[in-house]
Amino acid sequence: MSRLDSFIRRLEAQRLVLNWAAAAISGRDGLVLELGLGNGRTYDHLREILPGRAIHVFERKLSVNPRSMPPDDRLMLGDMRETLPEFGLRHGRAAVLVHVDATTGVPERDRVELAWLPGHVAALAADEALVLAGAGLEHPRLRPAALPEGVPAGRYFAYRRV
Ligand code: SAM
């Protein structure tokens, strides 16, 4: 499969999974965390499908489309290795949905450079929170969950915080 086809499938899977997750958390209070603002596409989608929900965004280097800029008080600029624990000191385990989109597209590199990430995510997720990720996360508190129909195996990952 070409990288273009792979990219398109990834975006389709993202949209399906985010829509599914928005429905899954409806009626449950709590924060939404977007880990990796990038261009802002998935953030923009989340704020559209979750109107009124507090969405906190983490990014170390701003390269966002100006139309998808989060408000200042919802944007945590800096390395997530530091900003996530800082956020935890203020909010505790208050997230009902965490979308982890911090990957580089090179799985071997991500496995090493983001090895600390699952623990940081588990520390912010409320009990039974949904955690979505573009790459697999391994942590004893993150129990793999089934994805909605139509998401090809290995394309996206879902977990419940236990
Ligand atoms: N969700 C974005 C979108 O839809 O446009 C794409 C995000 S992009 C795949 C990954 C982003 O994660 C990059 O912008 C990168 O700077 C950010 N990132 C990766 N590791 C990070 C870290 N340790 N701390 C903060 N941001 C990080």
Q: What is the pLDDT of residues 71-118, one digit of tens each?
A: 999 999 999 999 999 999 999 999 999 999 998 878 888 888 899 999
Identity of the amino acid at 149: E
What pLDDT, on the 0 to 100 scale, is given for residue 113?
86
Q: Ligand 1 centroid vs 98 CA: distance in angstroms?
A: 14
Q: Do 145 and 158 meet the contact criterion of CB atoms below 8 Å apart?
A: yes
**Residue 33 in 3-state DSSP?**
strand
Q: Is the CB of 83 under 6 A from ligand 1?
A: no
Q: Which residues does 149 contact at the CB level (< 8 Å), separation at least 6?
A: none
Q: Whose CA is nearest to atom 17 of ligand 1?
A: 36
Is it true that domain 3-161 has CATH number 3.40.50.150? yes
**Residue-level pLDDT at 154:** 87
Residue 119 in this model has a pLDDT that exceeds 80: yes
For residue 152, the model assigns a pLDDT of: 86
- At residue 13, the 3 state secondary structure works out as helix
Looking at residue 104, its pLDDT comes to 81
Read off the pLDDT of residues 3-51 as tens digits, 9 standing for 90 and up. Answer: 999 889 889 999 999 999 999 999 999 999 999 999 999 999 999 999 9
* Band of residue 157 on the pLDDT scale cut at 50, 70, 90: very high
Check pocket membership of 109 for ligand 1, CB cut-off 6 A: no
Ligand 1 pocket test, candidate residues 33, 60, 80, 86, most atoms within 8 A of CB: 60
pLDDT at 33: 98
Using pLDDT thresholds of 50, 70 and 90, give the confidence band for residue 153: confident
HSE at residue 124, side-chain half, CA atoms within 13 A, is: 30
Residue 44, ligand 1, Cβ within 6 A = no
The ranges assigned to domains in the chain are 3-161
Residue 103 Cα to ligand 1 middle (Å): 7
